[in-house]
Amino acid sequence: MNTTADAREQIGFIGLGLMGHGIAKNIVDKGYPLTFLGRKNRKPAEDMISRGAVEVSTAAEVAMRSTIIFLCVTGSRQVEAIIRGPNGLKAGLKPGSVVVDCSTSDPNSTIALADELAELRVSLVDAPLSRTPKEAWEGTLDTMVGASDELFQRLKPVLDTWAGRVVHIGATGDGHRMKLLNNFISLGYAAVYSEALTLAQKVGISPDRFDSVIRNGRMDCGFYQTFMKWTLEGDRDAHKFTIANALKDLTYLESMADAAAIANPLGNATKNAFAGLSAAGGAEQFIPMLATHIGRINGVDLAPVKKTETQES
């Protein structure tokens, strides 16, 4: 246990999902007292209780017991409900508290919520995440933080419990802006890989031959390697990020581009690739499965060679 944890900070946590469970686990294991909002999925809740965390039944109770509250949920709609809803955070927040939104949210919503909480003398910070649940569990996530210099220094020791790379990107809202840009690039890669694999197969170049050129070359990267694990190996869990979440993020990107009055044709094309799979019933599939879908609608079979029980039919 990390005995250097600041005893003045009481941590609250809402959102013990794929990413949140690992983050909360690391906060507790490294010395901070933590209160979390209970959930129907009991496995992560019971694990957190076994580590010494305290479970409560409302967001307001989380706020009452905490000085720093982390939110790790799907997006702005959920964040707004947690803060503003019945028995929400606003009912229990104390002056001087900080709400840290680790979700990928709409920056316009983030700024509106920050202004609203400032009236209560509560700060809102955005600290969205990069990498996967594996790194969340290991405590080596990346985070890009939108906060004042003073707030960043206060939060940094807690962020260091679960992040291997912490970047102070700017003021509140800038974390979510940068996260959307980051996801535009990564999801753009996914759309390009999917179309390239489809075209390759169509002209007689199999995925493994395609991979033999890209892997370890200049076009290789960590995202490519986890993306290809589905097509090459049938590993559906190598990149556990859903099509629904990808589409949500690209919709937020479109809104940001519209507000900035710039043309965003590549962003829209990427969004439409994910929208197509979502509309076809694949919203809960993971990003690498986009390749199988793009192949199918073009008459190409990109289903993994190593079949799995959950593979698309």
Q: What residues are annotated to the active site?
A: 179
> CA–CA separation, 163 vs 128, rounded Å?
11
289 CB contacts (<8 Å, ≥6 apart)? 230, 236, 243, 277, 282, 312
Chain centroid, CA 33 distance in Å: 24
Using CA atoms, how far residue 188 sits from 85, 114, 306, in Å, is: 35, 30, 26
Can you read off the two tokens belonging to residue 253?
Answer: 């990107």
The residues with which 73 forms a beta bridge, in sequence order, are none
3-state SS assignment for residue 286: strand
CA distance 202 to 299: 8
In eight-state DSSP terms, residue 289 is G
